[in-house]
Structure 1
Amino acid sequence: MPKRILIADDDPGIVDAVEMMLDFYGYNVSSTYNGAEVLTLQDNYPDVLLLDIWMSGCDGRDICKELKAKSNTQSIPVLMISASKDIRQSAMEAGADDFLAKPFDMQELLNKIERLLN
């Protein structure tokens, strides 16, 4: 059964490119441009969440904190991504399991996802 990855990013170019690449590697990929939607997940949780830090209307760090505070979602690995390299520390303090700065190398993304899945 393919691993499920959810992408929450408000940049359609990033979402499309990452979706296509992850789909090519056999992952079951879904996405949202609205990070707050991640907090409405009821079941069928992803195996990994790729979460942008700065999305219109919400801060990915706040979403990550909420997910990590709930017993039913705290174990979902969160890979936070951002165009700012300087906020790695705040991403990790928010509960992220890893961080990746944009623009990123697709192989590096794949390696981080594999590590989070294992």
Structure 2
Amino acid sequence: MEKIKKIMIADDDPGIVDAVSMMLEFEGYDVASTMNGSLLLGMTSDLPDLLLLDIWMSGEDGRDICKQLKDNRVTRGIPVILVSASTDLRKSAEEAGANDFLEKPFEMNDLLGKIDRLLNGKMTAG
């Protein structure tokens, strides 16, 4: 039996966290969330299979967090999708080591496609 994939959402907007969590749980994912991005840097066990990380969180830059995660051998392999309401951050998201970038507001199908591609290596339309 296939293990349920765990997705961690790091975003300081409770509305987004709630909506995305509900939708991902409906899709069969195990979802955890935090509004404190720096907590991610202390992860050593029970690591998520994928991280959905907001670039602008109060007092924190998701790109810095992503860079540190990718520099850490424990968390390096976790795919990271950086999310932002600003389109001009795509390049800096890639430079921070993000596996993908998603612009807010986003369609849930776009998010699901990116998650599926990163977790299962599937190429989906869109």
Using structure 1 for the length normalisation, give the TM-score. Answer: 0.98
User: Where in structure 1 are there 5+ consecutive unaligned residues?
Assistant: none
Q: Show CA shifts across 1:50-99 (max 9, x none).
A: 00000001100000000000111101000000010110000000000000
1:28 aligns with 2:30: yes
Aligned match for 2:101, one of 99, 102, 108? 99
Measured after TM superposition, the shift of residue 42 of structure 1 is 1.4
Counting aligned pairs with the same residue, the percent is 64
Q: How many residues align?
A: 118
Measured after TM superposition, the shift of residue 28 of structure 1 is 0.2
**AA of the residue aligned to 1:53:** I
Aligned match for 2:42, one of 40, 43, 59? 40
Measured after TM superposition, the shift of residue 40 of structure 1 is 1.1
**AA of the residue aligned to 1:46:** P
Measure, in 2, the Cα distance between the counterparts of 1:48 and 1:71: 15
**AA of the residue aligned to 2:41:** L
**AA of the residue aligned to 2:59:** G
Which has the greater radius of gyration?
2
Cα RMSD for the two superposed structures: 0.5
Moved over 4 A (4+): none
1:60 aligns with 2:58: no
User: Where in structure 2 are there 5+ consecutive unaligned residues?
Assistant: 121-126
Using structure 2 for the length normalisation, give the TM-score. Answer: 0.92
Match of 2:123 in 1: none
Q: Show CA shifts across 1:30-51 (max 9, x none).
A: 0000111111111111000000
Measure, in 2, the Cα distance between the counterparts of 1:40 and 1:83: 26
Q: In the TM superposition, what are the counterparts of 1:78-89 in structure 2 within 5 Å?
A: 78-89=80-91
